[in-house]
Structure 1
Amino acid sequence: MITYGSVCSGIEAATVAWHPLGMRAQWLAEIEAFPSAVLAHHYPDTPNLGDMTLLAGKVLSRAIAAPDILVGGTPCQAFSVAGMRSGLLDPRGALTIKYVELADAVDHVRAINGQPPAVVVWENVPGVLSDRGNAFGCFLGALAGEDSELLPPGKRWADAGCVYGSKRAIAWRILDAQYFGLAQRRRRVFVVASARAGFDPAAVLFEREGMRRDCAPGRPTEPSLHPTLTAQGGGALDDREAYVLEPRGVRRTTCVEWERCQGFPDDYTLIPWRNKPATDCPDGPRYKAIGNSKAVPVVRWIGRRLLEQINQEA
């Protein structure tokens, strides 16, 4: 069984996506109150370890397992790769540094155990590719095992690419949820990296044959099945102001519609909250948690392709 550890877990799109594939979470890590309550409601037997900055030490001390896959979406700001090597943490990129340190700790323990290195899956907004501080280049350099940040060939990083460093091979690609059957536009950068021998991250994110993920699927014509989402972001949930256009006028989308737009089961976030029953769960924290999550079908697609690559090694 392929295992994973999840950081910045939110409401766990990874688990919703990967459990049906036979993958299992060994631990989660989320600090926000409402998403943590969602995790406790749905996954009471999976520990939520909270602060991800403490996890590398726990992995090294064998307090927690070193899983096959590390998945998360940390905030990404610029930091000094050289500073990271000497332990001089830049607070602007602390969580990103801790994410790389956690990946390194997992690989260290797995090597001692005679296991192959882990696969790293990371997600962020497309703006990271054009960050003035070259945050993405810092992240790539740290993951690849280089002594300094990597620089883009032009003014910004391309929407897709590969890096083969001294420590890990890395691939990244912008994927849009609308091309995975969801009724919203949601572009995100996904990074897959690993030091596994024979593992090619590019084979996970890039399709060499078959249907490409840049053609919007056909929509059912029945008005009761894919209402039109309108928002400043062109139908994305990021703006927290998504609406439905109906014959009677415009109304705000419901929490269930947001869940469907992200690929979650209906009422996934309708949970008992602050000593009140699920029926009294407020909409506010539900909207925020859903909007901050990953799109489940995109993560499931990545999971399937990860399994194909890992199984080829067996």
Structure 2
Amino acid sequence: MEKNVRFGSVCSGIEAASVAWNVLGWEAAFFSEIEPFPCAVLAHHYPDVPNLGDMTKFKDWPDAAIDLLCGGTPCQSFSVAGLRKGLADPRGNLMLTFGAIAARYRPQWLVWENVPGVLSSNGGADFGAFLGMLGELGYGFAYRVLDAQYFGVAQRRRRVFVVGCLGDWRSAAAVLFERHSMSGHPAPRREKGQRVANALTDRADRGGTNSEGQRLIPELAACVTTGTGQRYDTDTDTDTILPVAHSLRGEGFDASEDGTGRGTPLVPVAHIDVMPAMLNGANTTAGHSARSGHSKDAYIVPAAKAVRRLTPRECERLQGFPDDYSLIQHRNKPAADSPRYKALGNSWAVPNVRWIGQRIEAVRAIQSLRQAA
């Protein structure tokens, strides 16, 4: 029987890894985080786990026996927002520091995450350098882009995950790729987005009717405006969802593919409609619709005959965290919304990471059986 996994976490944030993996019986050996608010969250939830601070000081860290090293090094250097300087940006170089930490502690497994923009940064050379480093360290590896919307949360969030296994690329591939995905018979392509039913429009000629032919009362404006003035029309847009992600970026909540908050709205209307439990306990008071030039009024979800901003609790649910996980005492008072948005936006989506952990558990069990045979 394999022992429970002990893992080290760098760029820990508010520790999606621990939320995802503690239910598997895994234990964190150490964290590495420097931002004040995430550090406070870690101290609140995990007071017995040491936070070793700056990952570039890893040579001064104490020795530790770990089975897995995980981390999502900063994405800004691989995104448009960060000017895509790649490894020329000190933040981009932290992915090489991740490898140096792996070289010191020599865990059996690695889990690393970043935005899809890392795949094309510097023509792919930056990502190639990272993978080449893992190979030189003796790790077999596999990588895959995972989208949070397929793991049970109501947001589109595509991220690159790299899994490494010491001396064994087949085990790494077995974690990220199911056998049926390699069969050569892919599932039919799904539409990128879903249209909003006409019943949600406030246009008198397109209000929709019920089964008795009666015209429905409109409950949502047909067109909303984000803080940047971009308009999304529910009657014409083929990818009609409320443009939450760009607006939330003002508070640090970023759900885009490249780390910019652009082009990947956060919450599909259809997902909100079919997941009402996500909104339970949240403030549903109707307010004014989002106004151009006022991004703070544009954190929007449907409410009674209007729109309103997302709450931090809803952002926690979008990322798979327990309710009020980030609502801690910070600087002698309840945490403000702004640092909570930022910390949640920088975090991993918990269900993605839990799935990876479950897959690693399954592969470890197979490895154990083979060794016993």
TM bucket (normalised to shorter chain) is 0.7 to 0.9
> Is structure 2 residue 179 aligned with structure 1 residue 208?
yes
Please report how far the alpha carbon of residue 57 of structure 1 lies from its aligned counterpart in structure 2 after TM superposition: 4.6
**Counterpart contact for 1:128–1:135, Cα < 8 Å:** yes
Partner of 1:235: 265
Partner of 1:252: 309
**Counterpart contact for 1:14–1:299, Cα < 8 Å:** yes
Please report how far the alpha carbon of residue 55 of structure 1 lies from its aligned counterpart in structure 2 after TM superposition: 2.0
2:130 to 128, 134, 139: 139
- 4+ runs of 1 displaced by more than 6 Å? none
Amino acid at match of 1:94: N
Amino acid at match of 2:138: K
Amino acid at match of 2:355: W
2:153 to 170, 182, 207: 182
Partner of 1:308: 362
How has the CA–CA distance of structure 1 residues 249 and 206 changed in structure 2, closer, same or farther, with 3 Å as cutoff?
same
1:194-218 CA distances to partner (integer Å, 9 max, x unpaired)? Answer: 2245861110001113898x979xx
> Percent of pairs identical after alignment?
53
> Is structure 2 residue 359 aligned with structure 1 residue 294?
no
* 2:31 aligned counterpart, secondary structure: strand
Amino acid at match of 2:65: A
Please report how far the alpha carbon of residue 252 of structure 1 lies from its aligned counterpart in structure 2 after TM superposition: 1.0
1:49-86 CA distances to partner (integer Å, 9 max, x unpaired)? Answer: 1111122453xxxx231310000011365449xxxxxx
Please report how far the alpha carbon of residue 98 of structure 1 lies from its aligned counterpart in structure 2 after TM superposition: 1.2
Partner of 2:165: 194
CA distance in 2, matches of 1:258, 1:79: 31
CA distance in 2, matches of 1:291, 1:126: 16
CA distance in 1, matches of 2:53, 2:91: 20
CA distance in 2, matches of 1:137, 1:24: 31
Partner of 2:116: 126
How has the CA–CA distance of structure 1 residues 169 and 35 changed in structure 2, closer, same or farther, with 3 Å as cutoff?
same
* 1:65 aligned counterpart, secondary structure: coil
* 2:265 aligned counterpart, secondary structure: coil
CA distance in 2, matches of 1:290, 1:92: 19
Structure 1 unaligned residues grouped into runs of 5+: 81-89, 108-116, 146-165, 220-227
1:20-66 CA distances to partner (integer Å, 9 max, x unpaired)? Answer: 011000001100000000000000011111111122453xxxx2313
For 1:90-101, list aligned pairs within 5 A. 91=90, 93-101=92-100
Matched residue pairs, number? 259
1:214-267 CA distances to partner (integer Å, 9 max, x unpaired)? Answer: 979xx9xxxxxxxx7533444338x99642123421211000000000000000
**Counterpart contact for 1:4–1:25, Cα < 8 Å:** yes
* 2:341 aligned counterpart, secondary structure: helix
CA distance in 2, matches of 1:49, 1:301: 27
Please tell me the root mean square deviation across aligned C-alpha atoms, in Å: 2.8
* 1:123 aligned counterpart, secondary structure: strand
**Counterpart contact for 2:114–2:161, Cα < 8 Å:** yes
For 1:166-177, list aligned pairs within 5 A. 167-177=138-148
For 1:45-194, list aligned pairs within 5 A. 45-58=48-61, 63-75=62-74, 78-79=86-87, 91=90, 93-107=92-106, 117-132=107-122, 134-145=125-136, 167-194=138-165
TM-score relative to the length of structure 2: 0.64
Partner of 1:153: none
1:135-168 CA distances to partner (integer Å, 9 max, x unpaired)? Answer: 21111111111xxxxxxxxxxxxxxxxxxxx722
1:98-139 CA distances to partner (integer Å, 9 max, x unpaired)? Answer: 1100001111xxxxxxxxx52010000001111125221111
Structure 2 unaligned residues grouped into runs of 5+: 78-85, 195-240, 247-262, 268-294, 369-373
* 1:209 aligned counterpart, secondary structure: helix
> Is structure 2 residue 315 aligned with structure 1 residue 261?
no
- Judge which range, 69-78 or 39-48, deviates more: 69-78
Partner of 1:27: 30
> Is structure 2 residue 339 aligned with structure 1 residue 282?
no
CA distance in 2, matches of 1:40, 1:93: 27
How has the CA–CA distance of structure 1 residues 209 and 9 changed in structure 2, closer, same or farther, with 3 Å as cutoff?
same
Partner of 1:161: none
CA distance in 2, matches of 1:290, 1:185: 15
CA distance in 1, matches of 2:126, 2:356: 24
CA distance in 1, matches of 2:355, 2:108: 19
- Judge which range, 4-13 or 94-103, deviates more: 94-103
2:43 to 40, 43, 47: 40
